[in-house]
């Protein structure tokens, strides 16, 4: 399934899915949400610790396919230290990237740009954005389960 992703991108995704960053419980987290993607069986729980409007810390737990796990992992590294508004903007760019393979300056996306190849696999788009849905729901104060369906 990774045939067209390119070696570097593939490596980053495999690395993050095998050794996810910020994986586990987050003591002192004040925002939580769970995301489910029934089509693929991905299940991601995101915990956020906010300091005012800034994401002080963010972690995730759960299970899923390589894309879902890698996306959650890269997302946590990208969102730490960002404001909620910045997180929303980043998600819009990331969403556009995984839907179309193109986005405004990749520099802004940093490592997130490795998911540009996902648009060739429409069934995987939901895997890639699952953790983002959960993170944004958590930050919005909705302590609830979100589903891609
Ligand atoms: Zn998946």
Question: For 94-108, how does the pLDDT look when each residue is reduced to its tens digit (9 = 90+)?
Answer: 999 999 987 665 567
Q: How confident is the model at residue 144 (pLDDT cuts 50, 70, 90)?
A: low
What per-residue confidence (pLDDT) applies to 1? 45
Gap between the Cα atoms of 82 and 55, Å rounded: 6
Question: Quick check: 97 and 109 in contact, CB under 8 A?
Answer: yes
Q: How confident is the model at residue 6 (pLDDT cuts 50, 70, 90)?
A: low
Could you tell me the distance, in angstroms and rounded to a whole number, from the CA of residue 52 to the centre of ligand 1?
32
Question: Quick check: 44 and 34 in contact, CB under 8 A?
Answer: yes
Least confident of 21-25, 87-91, 116-120: 116-120
Could you tell me the distance, in angstroms and rounded to a whole number, from the CA of residue 107 to the centre of ligand 1?
26
Closest CA to 66 of 41, 29, 34: 41
Gap between the Cα atoms of 126 and 116, Å rounded: 13
Ramachandran quadrant class, 101 (left: phi over 0; alpha: psi -120 to 50; beta: rest): left
Q: What are the pLDDT digits (tens) for 36-60?
A: 999 999 999 999 999 999 999 999 9
What per-residue confidence (pLDDT) applies to 105? 58
pTM above 0.85, yes or no: yes
* 12, pLDDT greater than 70: yes
Question: Quick check: 1 and 109 in contact, CB under 8 A?
Answer: no
Could you tell me the distance, in angstroms and rounded to a whole number, from the CA of residue 51 to the centre of ligand 1?
31
Least confident of 26-30, 36-40, 60-64, 108-112: 108-112
Gap between the Cα atoms of 138 and 47, Å rounded: 7
| CB atoms inside a 10 Å sphere around CB 81 | 13
What per-residue confidence (pLDDT) applies to 64? 95
Question: Quick check: 47 and 31 in contact, CB under 8 A?
Answer: yes
Could you tell me the distance, in angstroms and rounded to a whole number, from the CA of residue 68 to the centre of ligand 1?
5
Question: Quick check: 83 and 64 in contact, CB under 8 A?
Answer: no
């Amino acid at each position: 399934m990774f045939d067209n992703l390119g070696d570097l991108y593939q490596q980053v995704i495999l690395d993050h899915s095998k050794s996810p960053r910020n994986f586990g419980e987050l003591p002192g987290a004040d925002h939580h949400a769970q995301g489910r993607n029934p089509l693929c069986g991905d299940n991601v729980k995101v915990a956020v610790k906010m300091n005012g409007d800034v994401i002080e810390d963010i972690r995730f737990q759960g299970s899923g396919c390589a894309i879902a796990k890698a996306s959650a992992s890269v997302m946590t590294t990208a969102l730490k230290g960002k404001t909620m508004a910045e997180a929303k903007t980043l998600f819009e760019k990331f969403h556009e990237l995984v839907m179309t393979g193109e986005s405004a300056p990749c520099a802004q996306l940093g490592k997130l740009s490795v998911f540009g190849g996902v648009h060739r696999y429409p069934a995987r788009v939901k895997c890639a954005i699952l953790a983002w849905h959960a993170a944004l729901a958590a930050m919005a104060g909705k302590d609830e389960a979100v589903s891609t369906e």
